[in-house]
A and B are shown apart, each in its own frame.
Chain A
Amino acid sequence: MTHEFYTLYDHMLHSETIIYMIMGISLVAFTLYWFFITGRDDNADD
């Protein structure tokens, strides 16, 4: 994962791209995780 960056723009583009990927994956994962946690709930409004 080590990169050589020659400009700040390159560095920002690289790190921001990974952050956006993490956030995108997380949003999907959180939804699935919530369904897993509440899958056997008796009370739907919890």
Chain B
Amino acid sequence: MNEQIMAPKKGLMTPFNIGAAIIVVAGIIITILRFTLGLGAVTNLSDYYPWGIWIGFDLMVGVALAAGGYVTSSACYLFGMKRYHAAVRPAILTGFLGYFFVVVSLIYDLGRPWRLPYPFLLGWGTTSMLFEVAFCVALYLTVLFLEFSPVALEWLGLKKARNLVHKLTILLTILGVVLSTLHQSSLGALFIPAPSKLHPLWYSEYIAVFFFVSSIVAGLSMVIFEGAISHKALHHRMGKEYLENHDDLTLGFAKAASMVLAGYFTIKWVGVAAGNHWDLLATGYGLWFLVEMFGFIALPSVLYAVGVREKKFGVIKIAAVISVLGIIVNRLNVSIICFNWYLPSADRYVPSWMEVVISLFMVTLIMLVFRFIANRMPLFDTHPDYRDNH
């Protein structure tokens, strides 16, 4: 590792570390409660809502926000945009950690988590959308692990193994795009059999397309958002190539995000038109739908466009934050807020504080592992031994 990227000496007692430590301790205690006393002891799940925020947030949002991996690697390796090469590694790591902790969250949420491998070992439920999601997520997690492994292998000095995996880059990228397209859309398709449960403004026969297109927005926005945070917190670890291309990457991804958001905005209206649900826009849920459409889709699209046109990076970062929030709002709307929307308030699901803490625990673990890896492995910089081998 060269001298330029040695970590500065910092004390352990930073506000982030203290906050993270509190969440981790609380998370460990609730984890023990969850696995000793069962789901009922720590969650507000019911027969009406068998899926709470561990699915609605940790899984649905987690998978969408982890889309940066396939978006960035396909832009670089499949579409030939080599100037984005420096962003591939952090995006792949974000994707890998996102998917890994999606599976961890699933273990918390499953009543009998030891049955997680059953779909692959005992019953191939090929007519089930959940089987398709499980199969794709398991395969894609493996693909992401292999895509990320050159970073760890360079760090460990295992040149032969690193070069072997490096030769598989194009194959892994293609697999990543195929698997992501399948399961990102399938997560939306999970709701197709529930037209009577999901509010008509969110339910659509095109919901699988909505989920896939919005995952591209999530991926692009997360790369910009994560890049902005890394730029501040991990600047000392960044190599020349990453720093030189960072602004170009931000502008390119913002441009793409603006157009994809515009497309997403359009097809969401096509969904409303196909169901002829215009009259529902004048209801309370309709107003909430309009907030999502204009506040979390149209607004960031315009902000991205203005940011790119005027080269205002602050505006682009704001647009990225709003887009990420928009994805969270959308996935929570579909899986919780607008699900069983007709039930009286007494029967509606509100997550318990322990469910919220476990979700925060997962996000904190992702940040801690990301920081641990970024401070040690060649994530934002090419290892000196492989500079000509990319």
A binds B: yes
| Docked-complex contact B279 and A2, CB < 8 angstroms | yes
Is B258 interfacial (CB 8 A cutoff)?
Answer: yes
Complexed CA–CA distance, A3 and B278 (Å)? 10
Describe A's contact surface by its main secondary structure. helix
The tally of CB-CB contacts under 8 A between chains A and B is 46
Describe B's contact surface by its main secondary structure. helix
Min CB distance B320 to A, Å, is 16
| Docked-complex contact B259 and A37, CB < 8 angstroms | yes
Residues of B within 8 Å of A15, CB to CB, are 273-276
Assuming the contacts A3-B276, A46-B255, asked whether A30 and B263 have C-beta atoms less than 8 A apart, the reply is yes
Which of B270, B278, B308 sits near A2, CB closer than 8 Å?
A: B278
| Docked-complex contact B308 and A37, CB < 8 angstroms | yes
Is B252 interfacial (CB 8 A cutoff)?
Answer: yes
Complexed CA–CA distance, A11 and B276 (Å)? 8
Which of B258, B266, B276 sits near A26, CB closer than 8 Å?
A: B266
Could you say which interface size class chain B belongs to? 20 to 34
Complexed CA–CA distance, A19 and B269 (Å)? 8
| Docked-complex contact A19 and B259, CB < 8 angstroms | no
Complexed CA–CA distance, A24 and B262 (Å)? 14
Is B232 interfacial (CB 8 A cutoff)?
Answer: no
Is B387 interfacial (CB 8 A cutoff)?
Answer: no
Which of A18, A19, A37 sits near B309, CB closer than 8 Å?
A: A37
Is A6 interfacial (CB 8 A cutoff)?
Answer: no
Is A9 interfacial (CB 8 A cutoff)?
Answer: no
| Docked-complex contact B270 and A23, CB < 8 angstroms | yes
Which of B255, B269, B278, B279 sits near A37, CB closer than 8 Å?
A: B255
| Docked-complex contact B266 and A22, CB < 8 angstroms | yes
Known: A19-B274, A40-B311. 15 other contacts (CB 8 A): A1-B278, A11-B276, A14-B276, A18-B273, A22-B266, A23-B266, A30-B259, A30-B262, A34-B259, A36-B305, A37-B259, A38-B255, A40-B309, A40-B310, A46-B255
